[in-house]
Each structure stands twice: as structure tokens, then as C-alpha cells.
Amino acid sequence: MNKKKLKREIDSFKETQLKEIYKNLSFDIVLVQPEHAGNIGSVARVMKNFNFNNLIIFNPLEKVNKIHSYESQGFAMHGKDILQNANIISLVHQPDHIHRLKAFMEQYDLIIATTAKGKHYRNIRRMSILPENLILPVSKKPVNIAILFGKESRGLTNEEIEIADILLRIPTGSTYTSLNLSHACGIILYEIFNKLNQISIGRGQNPVLIADKEDKNIFYAILKKLINKLKIRTHKKENVIFAFKNIFERALITKKELSLILGVFSKVDSIINGLDLYK
């Protein structure tokens, strides 16, 4: 295999790349009345995992100084910058909560809310779809999207959900349907991240690269030579080649794996060339 080509591929490798059709989408994660600083920090951490950077904390029930505390930053880990730069909107007069939330959300083109309820659709306001069924908009103009998560103890209220355009529900077992705030956030952000990005196998300085057609053709050429030298019956030759091709294509074989296999088959070919039996 061409080592220079391999090095170029490794140097230019990107595990994830934003799909061109979604380049005009921007997302804000909005926590509505969160109750625990640790959960807020954990949300910041999972946001960092999936390339979401804008955190809005609307009318928190937790104290602001605890949200900025070292303990909360510890939960955030490498998402500490997201936590520190979060936009915290505190209200003095609580009866204004819904009115102020509605006014704040007017800046968004699309509002996605989340719920743990709605499994049986008894409440028409909680008619929901699953995250995997969410269709993201494609637009030539910027689209501002908000993803709303409710307080840990009871989630979003009906009035808060009414503000949203789309309602998402994560399917769970029937015994215990409620998820921790950061866990629910992580699942939904992963699903959206997966839709937004072209994802390749591998990561880090030594990514796992899938063998391409050129790589596999090198192996198939050696395989054909071996088949001829081993005097395999004519009617079986094509089936043997097809068998290897079927296995390799189903397995999504990597460049490293193919290189090791290629080395073994090349060695066998060299040994056979040295044997009088096959000359």
C-alpha cells in the first residue's frame, strides 16, 4: 500500500464534518428553571461533546452563585467555558415567567421542546415525535433554533410546551420514564449532531481509515495470482474471489487490517514462488 498516500489521508482526516446543507443552522440550548447546579454543569459538558456552544439558563431556581461555583464547573469539565459564558436570565417577579419566556423565545425561527410524557397521547398538547424522526430545516438564510429542557422535578409545563413548534420524547422502558436532565440532553444532542454531521470512522492522531477500492484491488490482484498458482479448479476460481469480496465489503475493512492481511498473502506468494512444486 502507498505509504505517502496513507499519510496524506491521515493528516487530512476529519472524524466529523458539518453537512453543507445545514451550515445556516444555529442552536441555543435553553434550560427552563433548572434546579440543580450539578445538572447544569453536566449539560455544559455534554454540549461540548457534540459541538453545541450556546447555553441559555432561563429563570433558574438554582442560585446563580452556585451555577458559577467550582463544583458546577467540575461537572462541566471541558465544557467549563460554555458554563461560564452561559446567558443567565433571572426573574424577580415569578408570575411574569411565562410572559417573559414567550417574549424571549420570539427571537427563534424554530423552537424544539422536550418531554418525558406523551407516550399514550392522552394530552393533545404533548403529541410528540421521537428524536430520530426529527427533520432539520434546510435554508439559504440563517435559522435560529432553540432546544428547550424543563426543570428536573417535572419537566416543561403545558404552558411552556405551547411555545414550541416541535415536541420530542425519548422512548424509555414503561417502568421508569423520566431521565436525568443531562442524560436527556445528551441523547437529544447526539441525535441532532448525527443528523448535522458527516461522520467517519476513527478519531485522534491515528484515525481508523476504511480501505478504499484502490487498496482492495491490490489485494484482489495478489489473490488471483495465488489462486492460479495453487491450481484451484477453474469453476471454483470466480467463487473464491467473490467469497473474499463479499466478506471484505460486508466487514468495512480498514486500511490497517487490509495491510496486515496483504502482508500475509504477499509472504505466501513469495514462499510459493520459491517452491519447485508450483513452478
Note the pLDDT of residue 5: 63
Q: What is the pLDDT of residues 182-210, one digit of tens each?
A: 999 999 999 999 999 876 655 555 556 77
Query: Residue with C-alpha cell 443531562?
Result: 182
By the 8 A CB rule, do 206 and 6 touch? Answer: no
For residues 98, 138, 197 and 217, what is the CA-based torsion angle, rounded to 10 degrees?
A: 160
Distances in whole angstroms, Cα of residue 12 to Cα of each of 6, 17, 51, 90, 178: 10, 12, 20, 45, 42
Note the pLDDT of residue 7: 62
By the 8 A CB rule, do 149 and 131 touch? Answer: no
Note the pLDDT of residue 190: 94
Query: Which residues of the chain have a pLDDT value below 50?
Result: 278-279
**Helices 213-229/234-251 angle, 10° precision:** 150
Note the pLDDT of residue 46: 96
Where are the extended beta strands (E) located within the chain?
Answer: 16-18, 25-32, 54-58, 87-89, 110-115, 143-149, 166-169, 197-199
